Amino acid sequence: MASASPFNAAHRLYVKSLYRRTLKNSLDWTIRRDVWRNKAIEIRAEFESNRNVRDPRAVAEILAKAEAKLDSVLHPDPYIPATAPGGTKWERNLAPPNRPIIDHEHH
């Protein structure tokens, strides 16, 4: 039977979020996916190397360093999918309102 992790679900979600943000930021800097894939493997190896750290203070220090590293290399103009909030096509073709556009009764 595997040993129980001393960290809760919120901690795992935070680490996954940090991992995904790091991957997304590295993809913002690299246009070609075949080149980016090697960087993604390096990022995964870095996270995996700290997988078995159980000391909460050591984990907090590792995560703080990872956040600082991510903050120092954030892309100034990250890629936003066109149809996502903030993208170039966001809310471009909204559905018409369900009410009359011109109210003839209250002129």
Q: What are phi and psi of 96, to 5 degrees?
A: -65, 155
- Percentage of residues in the chain with pLDDT exceeding 90? 56
The vertex-36 CA angle with 86 and 23, nearest 5°, equals 55
pLDDT at 1: 44
C-alpha distance from residue 62 to each of 25, 65, 103 (Å):
19, 5, 61
Is 106 a residue whose pLDDT tops 70? no
Q: What are phi and psi of 23, to 5 degrees?
A: -65, -45
pLDDT in tens, 49-77: 999 998 999 999 999 999 999 999 999 99
Is 48 a residue whose pLDDT tops 90? yes
Q: What are the extents of the domains in the chain?
A: 9-72
- Where does the pLDDT of residue 96 fall: very low under 50, low under 70, confident under 90, or very high at 90 and above? confident
Amino acid at 8: N
pLDDT in tens, 5-45: 667 889 899 999 999 999 999 999 998 999 999 999 999 99
- Where does the pLDDT of residue 2 fall: very low under 50, low under 70, confident under 90, or very high at 90 and above? low
